[in-house]
Structure 1
Amino acid sequence: FLVAARKLGNRLRDVAREQLDVVAKMNAMMGELLNVSGALLVKLFGRIFEENKRFQERAAGVRDIGIKRAVTGTLFFASIGLLGSIGLALVYGIGGYLVIGGTLTIGTIVALGAFLGKLYSSLQNLTNAPVDFATSIVSFERVFEVLDLPLDIEEKPNAIVLHNIKGSLEFENVSFSYPKDDIRPLSEVHRFGETQEVKTVLSEEAPIFMSQPELDTGLQRAQIHSQAREIALEYVSFRAEPGQLVALVGPSGAGKTTLTYLIPRLYDPVSGRILIDGMDIKDVTLSSLSSQIGMVTQETYLFHDTVLTNLLYARPGAKSDEIKAAARAANIHDFIMDLPERYETVVGERGYRLSGGEKQRMALARVILKDPRILVLDEATSSLDSESEALIQDALGRVMADRTSIVIAHRLSTILSADLILVMDRGQIVERGTHTELLSSNGMYANLYKTQFNQPKQ
């Protein structure tokens, strides 16, 4: 019994792992294709039939592995029951023969049959234990792995509560590089059933033509100023005084967004310090640090809920007048009042029922409601039409008033009045100064400005 149970337990464990992986692939595909953007892409490229077929294939895989697991377990337990029945049949058969010969009595045979039935029942229950444990160990592997993972950002035991700050922000020789996947704890463990373990969502393997390395002639590297590097930020130093507007400009991939992620401690720098009002942000509590910083990222995220709920996420206890005042300051109140249910209107998944400009103004209203001392704007006017940009620029003027503001912008027209402009390239600050000073230096900023404003008319 126990030998058979051990072999079956190993077999069921392998099947359970395979089942988790198949389900993970199914979930990953559904997450990619059934969200708003994925469904729109499928329709635009006319791939409905192909994706329906792909879904059926993945669903069939989930069905087949489920049947395989059920059949494997059922056959084992049916075999155990059959062995028990055979044993009882032998007892009654041989016992009956002995009763006829006068060796045993009927009562003895009945008693032996009852004892044997209880023995088989106990053995079967004992057999189930290693089988259930073997299948459960697959889930335990993931649970213990998660429990053993260290915290990415740890708060000091005696951290200081940050409150009533003026808003000065200083970077002192800050360097940062993103952690590599191969040094993560337990990275060599295959995480069964996790969608991040799915290498490709639609294709089962990489295309053949991608497996061959391209020949590097050096021509492309000579033509393009690449931002690819291992160190994201290198010895970055600057100071923003309370109420100042500091603008970050430079080519894509220069490290502007990474720099802003270090301010609320989404990551910790490898070296150097970040100070707010002279205090190292590593010495303050994470909650108090977050309460002093407001951030509008490149892609505005809205929950699949009402306008009111999305705004209240910044400050759950805000009053109705405060919410409307924040919406007015962000130039979004009039739009909200024109919606069918006004502030109770559901914005849809990731806010797909709103335009890009409307989502950006919603994000600004949410930040205004939070009322932080330090404001971080990551390309808040990118990819917007002129009317939406004008509304947001008007709102930004009110949002940034009396706040220390760190603004990333590719459109230089939005930061001409900045108190300090930092030009970044390959993770370093290569130029700094006001708009006039940087133009007169005739460096990278001047070239960016000429590219945007002195293009020949068609």
Structure 2
Amino acid sequence: MRDDEPQWVPPAADPEEPAQVRRILRLFRPYRGRLALVGLLVAASSLVSVASPFMLREVLDTAIPEGRSGLLTLLVCGMILAAVVTSVFGVLQTLISTTVGQRVMHDLRAAVYDRLQRMPLAFFTRTRTGEVQSRIANDIGGMQATVTSTATSLVSNLTSVIASIVAMLALDWRLTVVSLCLLPVFVWISRRVGRERKRITSQRQKQMAAMAALVTESLSVSGILLGRTMGRADSLTQEFTRESERLVDLEVRSSMAGRWRMSTIGIVMAAMPAIIYWTAGMALQTGGPGLSIGTLVAFVSLQQGLFRPTVSLLSTGVQMQTSLALFHRIFEYLDLSVDIAEPEQPVHLEQVRGEVRFDGVDFSYDPEATERTLRSIDLTVPAGGSLAVVGPTGSGKSTLSYLVPRLYDVTGGRVLIDGVDVRDLSFDTLARAVGVVSQETYLFHASVADNLRFAKPDATDEELRAAAEAAQIHDHIASLPDGYDTLVGERGYRFSGGEKQRLAIARTILRDPPVLILDEATSALDTRTEHAVQRAIDALAANRTTLTIAHRLSTVRDADQIVVLDGGVIAESGTHEELMLSQGRYAQLVRRDAKLPAAIPAR
């Protein structure tokens, strides 16, 4: 144990546990019909199995001593039939319960993925990718044993316990009392063990999430390039080794938590038959009412049948308490508030002209902060027009572009498309209306065709080619050995920066949005590649409302309107010629961009 780890103290009861258990049970509600069938199979199986000790008693006390071969044959056949029926019922209940459990896990995975898909961009900027993956893979995967077998185990063991106790009472109530006297102690021990394992499991899952995040970041293409070029491969390996060692410690502690206490329960239960024999023998020697050999053997058989499901029931309780930590982590994601939600009565626009207007827009990434990233932005871009936004780093240029497709919602004011507040539009309308080409081009590890069809799944090969030709990338794709079936590689690393940008432009051309946002789409490219990409962008921007976030000012000279942002406010606006004549902030930026002396007038 590390020095900075808190020492274990006896855990107090969690007041949220009952509510959490009820929530878990609600996950099984859609499958209550199948679970009811499992319950019937379990009950029938338990009753059949309890009948075997009574038949055994008759074999030992009546059929064999009295030489009744017919009765003996009938009883033996009955015992064999009971075993067959129990086995068949067991297979059926396992099939149904496993199916239900897997469906519940599927529902959880789908619900978590759906919730994450609806989370705002801000959530992903502050959450490590590996953490998200760990919640879906490790946490839900860790619950598999619980959701696939717990329900059946609970019903099966509980039914067996009740049936066994009733049968034991029917045979001899005194021996039953002796057998059950320690049961409350066992229940108390199992609950203590369950709480301890729950705490350790929570720590273990956090550690697994940390390892997943490290693997995702350091073993991606970008991570490998960074690690090797910075000479940090060895240190990353050492860091992973340390994280892995911590996980080993938690895994061992999780496995061993309460192991001695649970073993004590097993030892006591294993010793109970000897205690029963001793009790029966002492009662006989002291002149008490004796028991027949058949009754004694049948009772011990029932007792063993009681102890096995009792131990299993206690273990299931421990497993459920341990799984509460996993469910808690999943419910944390399911309970995340969706800050950007579709309105209850969304507006659907069949045709989008493309007019974009910023009406008194204020924005802050932290709504409670006094400083705002954007303040009092009033802009109108007519349908088919072009607006370029320039300014120094941190002035709010990209933030402004995020507000149109609703990657963030405004803090104050409105953003409108064709006169409708984007917060009132349906997500489908907004996705069809606005296309984004950013500096960070993302391509899936799939074929070129699959990456293009992500924008339009039903696109024909001819449409793919037309989009690629418009984006000035078709000739390069055609020159590849597999053409449009070529795998682009992890994050598109088989293609250059300019090629990836043109693929992204072709993808957006397929989408055919009336409003186009270009967020510094050429800022990371060399001059020659920029010219090729710019030609593709010009083809894409034709007849569309275009909002360009520019780093290189040479790309925005022909914009209908240029806005200079500084400190989140509009410092000046106008055409290129008007702004150059005013010799304000824009002219300074142009001179800096062109690296011309301030005394030389820029034209």
Q: Same fold (TM over 0.5)?
A: yes
Q: Establish whether residue 92 from structure 1 lines up as the match of residue 233 from structure 2.
A: no
CA distance in 2, matches of 1:29, 1:60: 14
Q: Establish whether residue 15 from structure 1 lines up as the match of residue 200 from structure 2.
A: yes
The match for 1:234 is 375
Q: Which of 305-314 and 149-158 deviates more?
A: 149-158
Q: 1:344 aligns with which of 482, 485, 491?
A: 485
Structure 1 runs not aligned, ≥5 long: 184-227
Q: Establish whether residue 121 from structure 1 lines up as the match of residue 121 from structure 2.
A: no
The match for 2:267 is 82
CA contact (8 A) 2:390 2:550 kept: yes
CA distance in 2, matches of 1:117, 1:321: 73
Q: Establish whether residue 49 from structure 1 lines up as the match of residue 49 from structure 2.
A: no
Pairwise CA distance, 1:365: 0.7
- Counterpart of 1:372, as a letter, is P
CA contact (8 A) 1:378 1:409 kept: yes
Q: Which of 74-83 and 407-416 deviates more?
A: 74-83
- Counterpart of 1:414, as a letter, is T
The match for 1:110 is 297
CA distance in 2, matches of 1:230, 1:147: 31
Q: Establish whether residue 280 from structure 1 lines up as the match of residue 421 from structure 2.
A: yes
Q: Which of 268-277 and 40-49 deviates more?
A: 40-49
- Counterpart of 2:194, as a letter, is G
Q: SS at the partner of 2:596?
A: coil
CA distance in 1, matches of 2:241, 2:489: 27
The match for 2:252 is 67
CA contact (8 A) 1:99 1:106 kept: no
Q: Structure 1, residues 190-241: CA drift from partner, whole Å, max 9, x if none?
A: xxxxxxxxxxxxxxxxxxxxxxxxxxxxxxxxxxxxxx98311111111111
Q: SS at the partner of 1:406?
A: strand
The match for 2:405 is 264
Pairwise CA distance, 1:109: 4.0
Q: Which runs of 4+ in 1 moved over 3 A?
A: 73-77, 93-106, 108-112, 454-457
Q: SS at the partner of 2:372?
A: coil
The match for 1:142 is 329
Q: Establish whether residue 152 from structure 1 lines up as the match of residue 339 from structure 2.
A: yes
CA distance in 2, matches of 1:371, 1:105: 89
The match for 1:383 is 524
Q: How many residues align?
A: 411
Q: Establish whether residue 35 from structure 1 lines up as the match of residue 176 from structure 2.
A: no
CA contact (8 A) 2:442 2:491 kept: yes
CA distance in 2, matches of 1:95, 1:445: 102
Pairwise CA distance, 1:371: 1.0
Q: Structure 1, residues 21-80: CA drift from partner, whole Å, max 9, x if none?
A: 111111111011100011112222333333333323322332332232223365444322
Whose RCO is larger (CA < 8 A, sep 6+)?
1
Q: Establish whether residue 434 from structure 1 lines up as the match of residue 575 from structure 2.
A: yes
CA distance in 1, matches of 2:596, 2:278: 102
Pairwise CA distance, 1:436: 1.1
CA contact (8 A) 1:361 1:392 kept: yes
Q: SS at the partner of 1:301?
A: coil
Q: 2:550 aligns with which of 393, 409, 412?
A: 409
CA distance in 1, matches of 2:486, 2:325: 44
Q: 1:249 aligns with which of 390, 395, 401?
A: 390
CA distance in 1, matches of 2:480, 2:402: 34
Q: Establish whether residue 166 from structure 1 lines up as the match of residue 357 from structure 2.
A: no
CA distance 1:283–1:433, change in 2 (3 Å): same
Pairwise CA distance, 1:130: 2.9
Pairwise CA distance, 1:117: 2.8
Which structure carries more helix by proportion? Answer: 2
Q: Structure 1, residues 117-161: CA drift from partner, whole Å, max 9, x if none?
A: 344335324423431221121122233333333322122222221
CA distance in 1, matches of 2:326, 2:468: 47
Q: SS at the partner of 1:138?
A: helix
Q: Establish whether residue 397 from structure 1 lines up as the match of residue 538 from structure 2.
A: yes
Pairwise CA distance, 1:446: 1.3
The match for 1:217 is none
CA distance in 2, matches of 1:286, 1:153: 10
CA distance in 1, matches of 2:597, 2:482: 48
CA contact (8 A) 2:190 2:262 kept: no
Q: SS at the partner of 2:257?
A: helix
CA distance in 2, matches of 1:46, 1:413: 38
Larger radius of gyration: 2
CA distance 1:249–1:438, change in 2 (3 Å): same
Q: Which of 392-401 and 304-313 deviates more?
A: 392-401
CA distance in 2, matches of 1:238, 1:172: 7
**Residues 216-231 of structure 1 mapped to structure 2, 5 A cutoff:** 230-231=371-372
Q: Establish whether residue 302 from structure 1 lines up as the match of residue 450 from structure 2.
A: no
CA distance in 1, matches of 2:378, 2:575: 16
Q: Establish whether residue 24 from structure 1 lines up as the match of residue 205 from structure 2.
A: no
CA distance in 2, matches of 1:270, 1:309: 37
- Counterpart of 1:373, as a letter, is P
Q: Establish whether residue 130 from structure 1 lines up as the match of residue 271 from structure 2.
A: no
Which TM-score applies when normalising by structure 2? 0.65
Aligned CA-pair RMSD:
2.2
Give the percent of matched residue pairs that are identical in Structure 1 and Structure 2. 41
Pairwise CA distance, 1:99: 4.2
CA distance in 2, matches of 1:146, 1:25: 17
Q: SS at the partner of 2:378?
A: strand
Q: SS at the partner of 1:117?
A: helix
The match for 2:363 is 176
Q: Which of 349-358 and 52-61 deviates more?
A: 52-61
Q: SS at the partner of 2:212?
A: helix
CA contact (8 A) 2:591 2:597 kept: no
Q: SS at the partner of 2:200?
A: helix
Pairwise CA distance, 1:441: 1.6
CA distance in 2, matches of 1:380, 1:105: 91
CA distance in 2, matches of 1:169, 1:121: 71
Structure 2 runs not aligned, ≥5 long: 1-185, 599-603
CA contact (8 A) 1:229 1:426 kept: no
CA distance 1:59–1:145, change in 2 (3 Å): closer
Q: SS at the partner of 2:518?
A: strand
- Counterpart of 1:452, as a letter, is D
Q: Structure 1, residues 84-139: CA drift from partner, whole Å, max 9, x if none?
A: 02222222234334445664345254344334334433532442343122112112
CA contact (8 A) 2:439 2:522 kept: no
Q: Structure 1, residues 348-404: CA drift from partner, whole Å, max 9, x if none?
A: 111111111111111111111111111100011112112211101111221111111
